[in-house]
Amino acid sequence: MLARLQCVVLDCAEVDELAGFYQSLLGGVVNQPDPRWAVNADWATLHLLGGLVLAFQRVEDHRPPLWADPARPQQSHLDLEVGDLDEAEETALGLGATLLDKGDGERCWRVYADPAGHPFCLVRH
């Protein structure tokens, strides 16, 4: 093994806002003390159960990806496993997510954007 995944970093305009959004969806601890990072106005973290860390990095003039636009592609996204798509969608939208693609009703996932514009999928397990 050459490396170990340390964290997944999302660029955004407001690090605390986005950290709070993902904490509401996934649980965990925002800005838990960790010697690997110094949290500040430009960097926030979310430590999740199981050890995964999401980090949020402030980027001045952040330009979010646009769904289905090759000029501003998604570049990456998170798949979040849920038990009930409709219930999870209602919660995500209430927290500030935007529905990008509900699909045709047959598939087991839907595409959303977080408040900073990053796409993520809710996937029924």
Could you tell me if 53 and 84 lie in one domain?
Answer: no
> How confident is residue 46, by pLDDT bands cut at 50, 70 and 90?
very high
Dump pLDDT digits (tens) for 56-67: 999 999 999 988
Residues 12 and 54 grouped into a single domain:
yes
Higher-scoring residue by pLDDT: 107, 50: 50
Task: Give mean pLDDT, residues 86-99.
Answer: 96
118: domain CATH number?
3.10.180.10
In a domain, 71, yes or no: no
| Structural domain that includes position 34 | 8-58
**In a shared domain, residues 12 and 43:** yes
What share of the chain in percent tops pLDDT 90?
A: 70
Average pLDDT over all residues of the chain: 92
Confidence of residue 2 (pLDDT cuts 50, 70, 90): low
48 and 90 both lie in a single domain:
no
How buried is residue 66: exposed, middle or buried, by Cβ count under 10 Å (0-12/13-18/19+)?
Answer: middle
Instruction: Assess whether 45 and 84 both reside in one domain.
Output: no
Question: Do residues 75 and 118 make contact, with C-beta atoms less than 8 angstroms apart?
Answer: no
Co-location of 44 and 84 in the same domain: no
The angle formed by the CA atoms of residues 102, 103 and 105, to the nearest 5 degrees, is 100
Q: Does 97 fall in a domain? A: yes
**pLDDT average, residue stretch 74-83:** 87
**Among 49-58, 71-80, 96-105, where is mean pLDDT lowest?**
71-80
* Total structural domains within the chain: 2
Does 52 share its domain with 82?
A: no
- What's the pLDDT score for residue 79? 85
Q: What is the mean pLDDT of residues 109-115?
A: 94
Q: Name the 3-class secondary structure at 86.
A: helix
Q: CA dihedral in degrees (110, 14, 41, 51; nearest 10)?
A: -10
* 67 assigned to some structural domain: no
